[in-house]
Structure 1
Amino acid sequence: MGPLSATRYYSRELSRRLAHYARVRRHGYPDHGSLEQAAETILAERAAGGIESGGHFHGVWPRDLCFAARGLVTAGYQETVATTGDWLVSQLSNVFYTDFHTDASVNAATPAEGVDTFPALVLLLAEADRLEYHAESIATLAALHDRKFVDSNRGLVTGAGSSWWDSAAAPREAYNTALLLAAARVLESREIPTVFTGRSAALREGLGRLWNGSYFDERRGSSVLACDANVPVLYFGLVEPSVAETIVNSLGVLETPNGLRLRGASFSPREVHPFFLLHRDYHTQIWPWNSFAYAVGLRRYGFDARARREVERVERCLAPVGTFLELYRVTGKPYVKRGYAAVGDFMVAAALWRELQSL
């Protein structure tokens, strides 16, 4: 990103965030009366609008849609997920944007490419039964993703790019590798040939390099307990039951009466992009979509009581607001601080909640 495009990006991003912050401070969040009604309304509106993430996050984010796909399909929107997946494939070329707009000139709400865009696309297409239809394009995109982001010698996705936390300056190696492993397993199971065919074992071994005996480190050189390094492996079922149990026990350290905190410590100023310096603490707050993905993973591995407890904690905090928030404070109140307000009507949280209702 050159100086001019970076200036345009940050100007647009600042305007977008401040406008949303002002609306929330003045009008609050939309109250749908109940979480059931909120989920129904949010998913219907997002499906009608091409499954945008919601709030001030305009455009379609493959990352969000990847985790929302099961819930959307369960709610009856498989055709919409398929159509959106088809459109995303048509938009991809040599740049893996983090989000996509009908006006391609404003693609990407973050300055870096989306290192998880390709695996997220694979996973959402699989949920919509459109993966085989795009087999040729997927093979081409797989080769490009491999060249851009993957260290084949280590079996790790080490390339820089935006992912689970687009504010982080360093690559999210555990999360990025886990998501690629999930996608590679799907591609292999569907017998769709790509450069990742036969490489699931190597990716699993690479992810194992980040295992510290209790949980997966977020990246080499950092042992901070972080949900993005561990919740996806539970959600996608990437580890053996004994490993899952160890991860769940470790994540218990992050549990609060109002839900699971996202990270064991705030990022240091050097660990975030400058634009996020005032909000480094929001990584230590509670993100409902992370909690719901965690609950799905808990259910997958048989921790039903813990899953119910996590969901009940989050529902208790969301119910008074009447919508699905992007995040809220450990106190249970919406995160509204210094020019940034958590998004309301957040699609991925509503979709994951809907998925949980079907289990």
Structure 2
Amino acid sequence: MSQTLLNLSPELSTDQRTSLIGLSRPEIASQLEADLGLAEKEARMRARQIWGWIYNLGVTEFSAMTNIGKGLREKLELWYRIPRPEIVERKVSVDGTRKYLLRFAPGIEAEAVFIPGVGRAGALCVSSQVGCTLNCTFCHTGTQALVRNLTAEEIVLQVLACKDDIEEWPSGKDERKLSNIVFMGMGEPLYNLEGVARAIDLISDGEGISISRRRITVSTSGVVSKMHQLGEETEAMLAISLHATNDELRDELVPINKKWPLAELLDACARYPGTTNSRRITFEYVMLKGVNDSDAEARELVRLLKGIPAKINLIPFNHWPGSAYECSDWGRIEAFADIVNQAGYASPIRTPRGRDVGAACGQLKTESVKKRASERRLEAAG
């Protein structure tokens, strides 16, 4: 039986101290120089110590930083904070998948999903936006209007909240529970590339959370203009939300295709930095009954991807209320997979995880709504 736990953390604080989450080590050092008057050399040393406590050991109180003198710890407490998002709701599936509804500020909520047994050990699916602008017709998230981009701090906080919950501190343990990060939650990551790239820098830092860039995957519905920049700046693995083998159908399923059609998208994939047979692009293909699941479409998919180092994830459609689609029959999915496999492509069928708690692919949605800044200030003050 799934579990639902509410109000796991206190209400959001109106604390005006500077958050250190989301700052790089040099930025923390600069803050210490400017705010506390530390000399440059000491500021760099203290920044490195603080960084290790936050991202390697997971502490949230300066009083726990025992290699820093008590006087300085007291000053740090006055000037800075190490926050966590409010966990509004936490659901645990019968299969162990954990879905978190996280509140970062009034009206700013997003979902993250931890899936054990995926990747090397377990994967966290993070959100990059609250809501989405893409309106993919098979995706529940696409029915929620965009509220705003998440900041790098808010993306990293999803990782910290998960590591707290699965009790995985320190970060550098050999036996990890969380080994992979996938930007496949709410939103289109390439419409928030600055925040995503900065978050990847923080998550992959070897003196902190230390998740390799090769274990960080960014999924896009096809924002061709940003794909090369993503590869150059982040060295992250690329996933493409494909779902159709012709422009007419993809225009319907993934409307961004009208701006960047298949030919342009696949050309950008062929030129994605660092792509090799050991660093293949993942193409995600949701299986929709009678829509995109024929043998002919399987053969066309193989033709389209010729020459691109690729693997193909076949995703059984996860139903949500109001959806017009049905999942392809299992036998049809297997027949589709056989054609792709015989052409030499790995085409695993993704086992649905977390369906019972609304945590499966395409099911994420929150009740966050766009509010004027004045409304949010009034709510926070009340």
TM (norm. structure 1) is 0.30
Higher relative contact order (CA 8 A, sep 6+): 1
Structure ID, larger Rg: 2
**Higher share in strand:** 2
TM (norm. structure 2) is 0.29
